[in-house]
Amino acid sequence: MNGTAGGIGALPDADCESALQDDVRDALARRQPLRIVGGGSKGFLARSAEGEALGVADHRGILAYEPTELVVTARGGTPLAELEEVLAEGGQMLAFEPPHFGASATIGGAIACGLSGPRRPFAGSARDFVLGVKLLNGRAETLRFGGTVMKNVAGFDVSRLMAGACGTLGVLLEVSLKVLPRPRCELSLSFEMNPLSALQAMQDWASGSWPLSGLAYDDRLRVRLSGNESAVQAARRRLGGEPAECGADYWRALREQDLPFFAGAADLWRLSVPPAVRLAPLPGEWLYDWGGAQRWLRTSAPAAEVFAAAASCGGHAMLFRTPMASAARFQPLEPRLMGLHRSLKAAFDPDGLFNPGRMYEGL
């Protein structure tokens, strides 16, 4: 399925790129900060940004899709569900399995937040699949970085810098992504284990040649196998365990945080740590994903304790959900790294128009 004039699902008459550029130019003249708003499904992430709303949800449409080249290009406001539906019709998928957190999720928001689902340690992160972007910067200029092939530039890959920047460097007008074929066969297994045994098993299996696409532990160890049928069935016989009923539903619920664990009242933390590490004791409830490399924690512990525990083992933490709008959300940065963040912000958005304070106070 190839992109046609105006793009798949695009409305040429409603193309608002020029209007967005005018809005940024006007805000620049008034020195008025802007709060970038797409579908709003991830508005709970990070700190509350200051400024007037700059709506980008109308800037939508799939501009090109080349299944034989494994590449799709879409405007930033394209609904994530719409994009995934088109890819599914072509037997393909976004392999980093981005969470939606709501029906209004957009592909621009998915890349800006840089979040990936259970398949991430086996297929790659959101950043790994970004081939190129078209960006509206803080000078009201439109810039293109990267392209539509995996090896298109030498040196620093600016396009992938946008993944996880939370809109602080500019507005994602277009994104080109590598896509992958959907697995021919997929099934899930479950095992009764305690947390320490589960961590060890996940390490053992992740270092092997199993066709893995998910390793998680809540009350049980959950394993997802993906690939051709013969490889999946052979792995099933060798691993053992119990076939998990509604396995696909579990991984979707984990990705979308619809499991009972995520319904707790305490602050929800996301810790990214070496998968085999044993963290300093922290009170609360745990759920492990990514073979132990991503750990979700429900706790009332002070933020300083959680940040310190993550840093002590070479990892980092993020306060993912909290009712405290002004709370520090990201791992504190050492001065050298904070200086790098400030330099990048100054290069793309010298007047601090976009999402000020979204990630760190004063940035």
Report the residue count for the chain.
363
CA distance 311 to 272: 10
What tokens does 272 get? 């990214």
What tokens does 324 get? 């405290």
Taking alpha carbons only, the member of 101, 111, 67, 61 closest to residue 87 is 67
CA distance 350 to 39: 26
Query: Amino acid identity, residue 311?
Result: A
CA distance 74 to 299: 39
Ranges of each domain in the chain? 12-181, 185-255, 260-321
DSSP class of 50: P
Convert the pLDDT of each residue in 80-111 to its tens digit. Answer: 999 999 999 999 999 999 999 999 999 999 99
Q: By the 8 A CB rule, do 188 and 223 touch?
A: yes
The reported pLDDT for the residue numbered 56 is 96
Stretches in the chain below the pLDDT threshold 50:
1-14, 150, 152-153
CA distance 137 to 170: 5
CA distance 43 to 49: 9
C-alpha pair distances (Å), 233 with each of 204, 230, 252 = 19, 5, 22
Convert the pLDDT of each residue in 222-244 to its tens digit. Answer: 999 999 999 999 999 999 999 98
Domain 12-181 belongs to what topology? 3.30.465
Alpha helices, DSSP H, located in 213-348: 229-239, 247-255, 303-312, 335-348
Per the listing, tokens 């940004």 go with 49
CATH number of 185-255: 3.30.70
pTM of the predicted model as reported, rounded to 2 decimal places: 0.92
Q: By the 8 A CB rule, do 185 and 230 touch?
A: no
